[in-house]
Amino acid sequence: MTTYLSNSERAFTERVRKLLDKAERTDNVHEAEAFARKAAELVAEHRIDPDRLADTAQPDDLALAEIEVGRGAYVRGRLDLLHAIADSHDVRMVFRSASTGSIAMLAGRHDDLSIVEMMYSSLHQQVAAKMSELRGPTGASTQRQRRAFLFGFATRIGELLAETRATVEAAAARSSGNDTTAVVLRERRDRVDDFARQSWGRVRSAAAPSAVVPDGFARGVSAADRADVGRTRFAARKKLGAGEP
């Protein structure tokens, strides 16, 4: 996915990327958490920065982007994870099938699209590493456990991001003593919704994914609590075989 960013937005994105890279490289859990927490704070505060919110929106402010999420048993879980991240950043998402697999289509502000792509890439790598550690007595049971784990992880990540956003926005409202920030953010969400509707037209709802294994889901939720969204990092990543996450 490629989006146009101003010099200031590009510099901000690079700061976040460097912090996440540091969190992933260090073997010290406390250092990793500090780097990841700082990255999460930068993202949340950047979205409600008064100067940024006061900027007059330019004609190219809103854009469309696509991310390939592949095919196979884990594609709906990956879409769930991407949707959770996108929704917390006021980015709208639908998906379509192609010869290469499923493709997520995103609509939102340029800088939000860039952050969503970066967070999805990082979190997907993290959850794939944890999924590779799961083994069942058969290939089919392993796949079921991993699939449930991914759905649980995605669900909890969505909750964590929503909680972080609510906390930051509430603090900003208390600091300013008014609801100006909330009003501006609501207006921006409305603009994104209108843009998405105009760009995509009528969208058909997808069938619900099949049921998942309860204990695998619960383990995914637990793993998300330790993800690099201001908490801790996962252990070293492992390569997965074909058809796996």
Span 131-173, pLDDT tens digits: 888 888 898 888 888 998 998 888 888 888 788 778 877 877 7
User: What is the C-alpha to C-alpha distance for residues 221 and 127, in angstroms, rounded to an integer?
Assistant: 11
Q: How many residues does the chain have?
A: 245
**pLDDT at residue 10 above 60?**
yes
- Token code pair at residue 117: 């792509």
Q: What is the pLDDT of residue 53?
A: 62
**pLDDT at residue 79 above 50?**
yes
Q: How far is CA 66 from the centre of its chain?
A: 14
Q: Which helix (H) or strand (E) holds 28?
A: none
Q: What is the pLDDT of residue 91?
A: 94
Task: Look up residue 3 and give its amino acid.
Answer: T
Identify the residue with better confidence: 144 or 213.
144
Q: How many CB atoms are located within 10 Å of the residue 188 CB?
A: 19
What's the average model confidence in pLDDT over 202-228? 65
Q: What is the pLDDT of residue 235?
A: 33
**pLDDT at residue 245 above 50?**
yes
Tell me what percent of the residues of the chain surpass a pLDDT of 70: 66
Determine phi and psi for 229, rounding to 5 degrees.
-125, 50
What's the average model confidence in pLDDT over 110-118? 87
**What residues contact 203, with CB distance under 8 A and at least 6 apart?**
94
- The pTM of this model reads 0.76
CB 101 within 8 A of CB 70: yes
Q: What is the mean pLDDT of the chain?
A: 76
Domain coordinates in residue numbering, the chain: 7-224
Task: Look up residue 144 and give its amino acid.
Answer: R
Q: What is the pLDDT of residue 118?
A: 84
Tell me what percent of the residues of the chain surpass a pLDDT of 90: 19
